[in-house]
């Protein structure tokens, strides 16, 4: 029985493509090694602690800005405690770790992971790794400050839009 030239060509194309697609996927073992070398678990815990601190700082700032009474501030703080507990429960390494691993495996190739491992094991990579928590903290604070600065305009724009929508609904 003789194979058709089209079937042979398709079979050859499939065989040639298979090694390329297999070579592209980062292995779970290498990704786990990279996550460990990059201190992603420790950085995640530090980020979680920073976020909890930002929640507390935000409550204090808002209470002062709005001139809340002690009782109002206490109620706001109680709500904040509930929010912090929820945040801490959701953003655990047990939940994030497998997702990080899957994400890195999906996006990175073995060659890219090898390169990243070499970098993070170098003196420059070790320095970057050590400074990452500080970079994250300052970046988050910068973002929070920008949000706080833009909040009055955002609230005014929202109120204007709601008033216009209400006027349109009546008209």
Cα of 155 vs its chain's centroid, Å: 26
Name the DSSP letter for residue 153: H
Handedness of CA 44, 48, 49, 54 (dihedral sign): positive
In angstroms, the CA 28 to CA 24 distance is 13
Note the pTM of the prediction, 2 decimals: 0.64
Nearest to 45 by CA among 104, 88, 100: 88
In angstroms, the CA 34 to CA 129 distance is 12
Q: Going by C-beta distance under 8 Å and a sequence separation of 6 or more, which residues neighbour residue 62?
A: 68, 76
- The pLDDT tens digits along the chain (171 residues) read 555 655 554 454 444 444 444 457 899 999 999 999 999 999 888 888 888 888 888 888 888 888 988 888 888 888 888 888 888 898 899 999 999 999 999 999 999 999 999 999 999 999 999 999 889 889 988 988 898 899 889 888 888 898 888 888 887
Q: Is the Cβ–Cβ distance between 59 and 76 less than 8 Å?
A: yes
Handedness of CA 156, 158, 161, 162 (dihedral sign): negative
Q: Is the Cβ–Cβ distance between 102 and 26 less than 8 Å?
A: no
**What is the predicted pLDDT for the residue at 111?**
95
């Amino acid at each position: 029985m003789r194979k058709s030239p089209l079937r042979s060509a398709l079979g050859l194309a499939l065989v040639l493509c298979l090694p390329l697609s297999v070579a592209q996927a980062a292995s779970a073992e290498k990704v786990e090694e990279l996550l460990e070398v990059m201190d992603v678990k420790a950085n995640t815990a530090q980020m979680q602690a920073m976020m909890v601190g930002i929640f507390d700082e935000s409550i204090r700032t808002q209470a002062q800005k709005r001139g809340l009474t002690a009782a109002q501030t206490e109620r706001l703080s109680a709500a904040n405690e509930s929010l912090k507990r929820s945040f801490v429960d959701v953003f655990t390494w047990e939940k994030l770790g497998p997702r990080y691993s899957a994400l890195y495996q999906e996006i990175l190739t073995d060659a890219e992971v090898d390169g990243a491992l070499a970098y993070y094991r170098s003196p420059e990579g070790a320095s970057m790794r050590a400074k990452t928590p500080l970079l994250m903290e300052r970046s988050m604070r910068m973002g929070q400050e920008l949000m706080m600065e833009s909040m009055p305009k955002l609230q005014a724009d929202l109120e204007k839009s709601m008033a216009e929508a209400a006027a349109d609904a009546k008209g």
